[in-house]
Structure 1
């Protein structure tokens, strides 16, 4: 057992990618350190499926690739490399075709949970903004019908939507909140 605050052993990018290709559990990679991903709730899965279903026709029309959960995004900041597993990656660059990750996503989506919301809203938002290709970052609540969209063309200011449609960058198509949450039952307000 290591002492509290002790740094874990450094893992090379090559060893990380090999381990992820063969492993059953997914891990984020941040500058040589790996962090296990937690499981998702049924509501998370239903929302993610609805998003993929709604976005797939537009992605195909635009010649983009859409990935849910198992594709990583690589972020290089200065001399540090990180790999994250967004819930959804939209990749529209035909040159961005690594087997296990994407470097130039156009849109990234995270379905928020209590355990991930803080990291998604701060660490990942800041890291993802460094990707020159990224046009939008969509955060989707799972406990209420609400999304937050951060767009490059607005200086990464947040747009919060609780009803109606939201216009998705890259696909130039509206996404309906009722479509996102169609299969989800929310607890009754007390």
Structure 2
């Protein structure tokens, strides 16, 4: 996440951002320019979105990637991949208010933000059931699942060979998650 720009309301932000060539996140009046991603980052996002989309076909759930905002009570974030359920067809909405699953593919510049601050913000969404962090360089996969009494349970799925997303009842081989992505240094 970059440095904050000028203060504005949520409505002002939505109108302003429509005019911008870049994406921005917004929280409590502060606007932050989004940084660009790498080919490795984008490949994993596309792998996940396409396979999750195929899995959800015929259900009331939809998958969105990168360019759709999740709406919080005091802001907007851009998840790399998110799933929402309850509406089988997309319209002209600019935001999703009820993501069930959010996946963030980590970048060196946003790793700490995605792991701490962004997760804290996403947890304010009553609909969220699962939060996934994927480090493409280390091929590390952490899945946080909402459990009883509001506790979030971490499952490190790095060495399992399979990404298990209980919120949408999907098992996906890690080979498919990382298909077309070199291992090692970025």
Query: TM-score, with normalisation over the residues of structure 1?
Result: 0.87
- Map of 2:49 onto structure 1: 52
Could you tell me which runs of 5 or more consecutive residues in structure 2 were left unpaired when the two chains were aligned: none
Quote the offset at 1:25 in angstroms.
0.6
Distance 1:25 1:164, change over 3 A: same
- Map of 1:31 onto structure 2: 28
Summarize deviations over 1:152-189 as a string: whole Å, max 9, x none.
1262121111231122133201121111111111137x
- Map of 2:142 onto structure 1: 148
Superposed, which structure 2 residues align to 1:77-96 within 5 Å?
Answer: 81-94=74-87
Q: Is the 8 A contact 1:62 1:171 kept in 2?
A: no
- Map of 1:109 onto structure 2: 103
Q: Is the 8 A contact 1:93 1:105 kept in 2?
A: no
- Map of 1:3 onto structure 2: none
Summarize deviations over 1:3-33 as a string: whole Å, max 9, x none.
xxxx864211111101222211110001111
Q: Is the 8 A contact 1:93 1:104 kept in 2?
A: no
Superposed, which structure 2 residues align to 1:130-149 within 5 Å?
Answer: 130-149=124-143
What secondary structure, in the 3-state scheme, does the structure 1 residue paired with 2:108 have?
A: coil
Query: Given the alignment, which residue of 159, 166, 171 partners 2:163?
Result: 166
Matched residues, number = 178
- Map of 1:17 onto structure 2: 14
Runs of 4+ in 1 over 3 A off after TM superposition: 95-98
- Map of 1:128 onto structure 2: 122
Q: C-alpha distance in 1, partners of 2:6/2:49? A: 37
Q: C-alpha distance in 2, partners of 1:182/1:16? A: 36
Which structure has the bigger radius of gyration?
1
Query: TM-score, with normalisation over the residues of structure 2?
Result: 0.88
Could you tell me which runs of 5 or more consecutive residues in structure 1 were left unpaired when the two chains were aligned: 1-6
Pairwise CA RMSD: 2.0
Is 1:73 equivalent to 2:73 in the alignment?
Answer: no
